[in-house]
A and B are shown apart, each in its own frame.
Chain A
């Protein structure tokens, strides 16, 4: 039993890397997600349904295709990749940051959906009431809208985190499978399944993946419940 639960350094690296990639994928997409959700829920502009379709693309396209598109855009020779490297010195291709981008993109539709639904359900008359009390648009958002949509934001964050944690196709296409740099948990499990006699290690990592997912789900349930109760004043 002790041997079964003792992780090799490579396995620990894969677990830590996965957590880091998923965390930054979630955090990085959060402000953009809130912004796009606001735009889709409240905005009245030409091309809104186009933006909506675009946001949902990663959900319906094969992940490999998303990964390839990312490679085309953000690869070292891709237009955006070149721009980022020259202006900010950020390299995404074959780095863990690229894995985070892939996870963020794949989780983005889920995050936006969750936040948008909560914005849709906000009673706008409350915002008008805050306006008559002297609050400007930014204050209304910070003191009324944001607290009321917090459950939706939390749910969106968890979904994004979980999606990034399980990301495989787009990641392996975009940043390949480099141990210690881009070999996240799913990629590590995949690698192990390709090597004969590593069944025990495969099972071990599989259990870790299950445990992390369950913990994330459980934590999200608790947080969302709490936030929802607070938003309703119960």
Chain B
């Protein structure tokens, strides 16, 4: 449980942001310069804000009104820095164990060595223990940095664009580890990023920052389905998120059927067991709109729904939000098409999505239960 309110000013930049989060992975999303790093530095105690109240799991870490400022080393907030910041003179093992000297003793039932083994296994760093940071790849360094933060038994993990310094291949390698961390470690995470792909894949809650202010807070699917936020979430990559489960595989055609509340989606074969939960991002630009159930069309996915909202404007491109059995879907059309089809709020339509629109960026392991709760509660 996070309750964050920070106001800070240096030079021409003013940060005035507040948000609450129920746990899971909270993404601070925004352009560079939006105040994301300043905000987590204030949370971690690396920055003393002008005015702030920061409460993590009931512990008041900063309250300028009451003159409370817990120093960084007593906050028990694990910080994963963009550049890793591993200690170069220590081995991977020594790096991992650094914070344990100062960590509070753990539960009796989970032995200390058991916990270390768990983290090593979770992050797949078992083969690196004897090595020095200088001999690690960027992805390996970040996994060790995450393990080091985790083994200090933090009450909260903050990650400052941990993938920004990595190339695409390394990112793809490390993302599943962060998903496992979110789902299994039981530590809430605040994750800073300006990459829509990362955020939609990882976040249970999204905080959209714009020029030092919070533009929106909410469950990721809800935020990504808001067309008014498209200028901030990025038009090209913007897309709604559907929570789905694997319903079956079609071996003959190499397809997998995903079941969402909105309907079934057929996508290129996924190597997942039936029943596995999966998040799918459907980019607005991949969605076509039809007035009647289309026939003689190659696209395999047709979801019935209703137009809820059409963004105002006189540009060539128009964004709209659909309601498909309670789930939000967004679409980008030319204004001309909107006029030709006579689209307006309340109008029943069919969203058509090509199966090949689902590339590997579109999928992510489903968030844990708390996130799902939040979505049904607020969404």
Which A residues form the contact surface with B (CB < 8 A)? 123, 125-126, 128-136, 139, 143-144, 147-148, 230-234
Contact = CB atoms under 8 A, between A and B. Distances in A.
B283 to A, nearest CB: 37
Q: 9 closest A-B pairs (Cβ-Cβ)?
A: A134-B102, A233-B132, A133-B99, A233-B88, A129-B85, A132-B79, A233-B134, A147-B89, A131-B73
Interface on chain A toward B: helix, strand, loop, or mixed SS? helix
Given A125-B81, A128-B46, A233-B88, A135 B101 contact: yes
A128 B133 CA distance: 18
Given A131-B72, A132-B77, A133-B152, A144 B87 contact: yes
Nearest to B99: A133
B89 A134 contact: no
Contacts of B149: 132-133
Given A125-B81, A233-B89, A133 B98 contact: yes
A130 B87 contact: yes
A135 B135 CA distance: 25
Given A125-B83, A135-B98, A230-B89, 12 more contacts: A129-B81, A131-B73, A132-B44, A132-B46, A132-B73, A132-B75, A132-B78, A133-B78, A133-B99, A135-B101, A139-B102, A232-B88
Nearest to A150: B89
Interface in B97-135: 98-99, 101-103, 132-135
Contacts of A233: 88-90, 132-135
Nearest to A146: B89
Interface of B: 44-46, 71-79, 81, 83, 85, 87-90, 98-99, 101-103, 132-135, 148-149, 152
**Which of B72, B88, B135 is the most central at the interface, judged by chain A CB atoms within 10 Å of its CB?**
B88
B73 A135 contact: yes
B132 to A, nearest CB: 3
Contacts of B135: 233
Contacts, number: 74
A126 B73 contact: no
A126 B87 contact: yes
A193 to B, nearest CB: 48
A134 B88 contact: no
A233 B86 CA distance: 10
A134 B99 contact: yes
Contacts of B76: 134
Nearest to A231: B89
Contact of A134 (B44, B87, B90, B152): B152
Contact of A136 (B73, B83, B133): B73
13 contacts: A131-B71, A132-B46, A132-B79, A132-B149, A133-B102, A133-B152, A134-B73, A135-B73, A143-B87, A148-B88, A231-B89, A233-B134, A234-B134
**Which of A126, A129, A132, A143 is the most central at the interface, judged by chain B CB atoms within 10 Å of its CB?**
A132
Contact of B79 (A123, A129, A230, A231): A129
A134 B101 contact: yes
B44 to A, nearest CB: 6
A143 B73 CA distance: 15
Contacts of B45: 132
A30 B139 CA distance: 41
Contacts of A136: 73
Contacts of A134: 73-74, 76, 99, 101-103, 152
B164 to A, nearest CB: 15
Contacts of A144: 87
A132 B72 contact: yes
